[in-house]
Amino acid sequence: MLTVEHEFELPQGYIDQDGELHRKGAMRLATAADEILPMKDPRVQGLPAYLIVILLSRVVLRIGTVTQINPGVIERLFARDLDHLLEIYNHINGVAPPAIAVTCPHCETGFQVAVPPPGESSATPWTGSTRRSPSSDNVCTGPTVSS
């Protein structure tokens, strides 16, 4: 059976206009319209990063007792909670790239690596240098951990 509604708990919590803290909520699976229609929104056209605000306001069903979820509610979330909801959205809608187990050929440390979809790749951050270290091909620094 397909699960359409998914419960969540926010790490920080949403504080409503009365100062009440809400942490538990629910999000539904996204439809094609949820992903397409926000692209017409002038706020998204002016600032593409605003897409996630509109998108989450369409798919989050409730946060605590707050059931009228609109962009203003999503805008007032703490950054950590916004990131948490984005991770849930990606997971339940199958947007997150698959991860595979790999082993470093030099130090034999095992770790997980996200595999980008075909045609996409993760850019290496520019360090300001165009020179490679002579030993860069022989050194394994292990996995990069994000917190």
Q: What is the pLDDT of residues 100-119, one digit of tens each?
A: 788 888 888 887 776 655 44
What is the pLDDT at residue 104? 86
pLDDT-wise least confident of 11-25, 71-85, 91-105: 91-105
Instruction: Tell me the per-residue pLDDT of 28-44, one tens digit each, with 9 for 90 and over.
Output: 999 999 999 999 999 99
pTM over 0.75: no
Report the b/e string of 2-39 with b at 16+ CB within 10 A: eeeebebebeebbeeeeeeebeebebbebeeebeeebe
